[in-house]
Amino acid sequence: MPRRRRAHIFAKEPHGHYVEPAWTSARLLAVEDFGPRSGLILDPACGWGTILKSAHKAGFRRVLGCDVVDRLRGDDRITLPFCRHDFLNGGTPTNGAVASIICNPPFDHVEEFCERALTIAQHKVAMIMLLRRLPAANWLDRLPLETVYMLTPRPSMPPGEWIDAGNKPGGGSQDFCWLVFNPRSRPRHAALRWLHRDGKDSMT
C-alpha cells in the first residue's frame, strides 16, 4: 500500500514571510556568477537573513538586508547590515552600487520585485517563485530572464511564525524555482536547470 504523504498547506502570511531552507540559496550561489566577491549583495525582503548568510559563506564580503519588518534575531542583528525599507514604495536602499540582488519575495509581488530589482542590480537578479505560477507569468517575456532553476527535492517554505511556534519545516505541498535575470542582456529563451540540494545538478 502506498505510504500516505504528509503535506502541509500553510495559511497566508500577511507580509509574505515564508522561510526558505538555507540550501536553496547556498546551492544557487555555488553555481551562478553574482559578480566580484567585493560587490554588494542586496536582499530586499531578507526576513531572517538566510540568503545574506549564504552570500557571506560564499565569500561575498558586503551584504545588505532590507525588509518592511525587522525580523533579524540574536547575533544576526550585529553581523548582518539591515535597514527597514519598503522596496516597492521607497527609494534605493543604498547609495552605492549593487552588484546583485538575491531574494525570496512575497509570492504575490514577484513581478514587481523583479522589475524593480532589474533597475538597481548591475550583475544578476535572482528571485524565488512558486512553480505553479510560472505558466501564467507571461510578463517574463519582456524581462532578461537567463535561467530557471527547478529546486529538488521540493523545499518546504513555511511562514516564519509557524516555525517560531516550534514546528519543524517539512512536507510542504508547493514546488518552487529560482528565476535568474541578467540586466545586461536582452530577453531571450531561458535555460532550464535543476538545482539539487545535494549537488547533483543537471540542465537542458
Q: Which residues contact 152 (CB under 8 A, 6 or more apart)?
A: 194, 195, 196, 197
pLDDT for res 158: 56
| Predicted pLDDT of residue 134 | 96
Angle at 137 between CA 107 and CA 48, to 5 degrees: 20
Q: Which pLDDT does position 174 carry in this prediction? A: 87
What is the grid cell recorded at 163?
516555525
**DSSP β-bridge partners for residue 181:** 125, 145
Whether the ω angle into residue 155 lies within 30 degrees of 0, i.e. cis, is: no
User: What pLDDT shows up at residue 168?
Assistant: 63
What separation, in Å, do the N-terminal and C-terminal C-alpha atoms of the chain show?
Answer: 35
Can you list the domains of the chain with their CATH numbers? 22-199 (3.40.50.150)
pLDDT at 114: 98
- Looking at residue 91, what is its pLDDT? 83
Residues of the chain with pLDDT under 70: 1-17, 158-172, 201-204
* Single pTM value for the model: 0.85
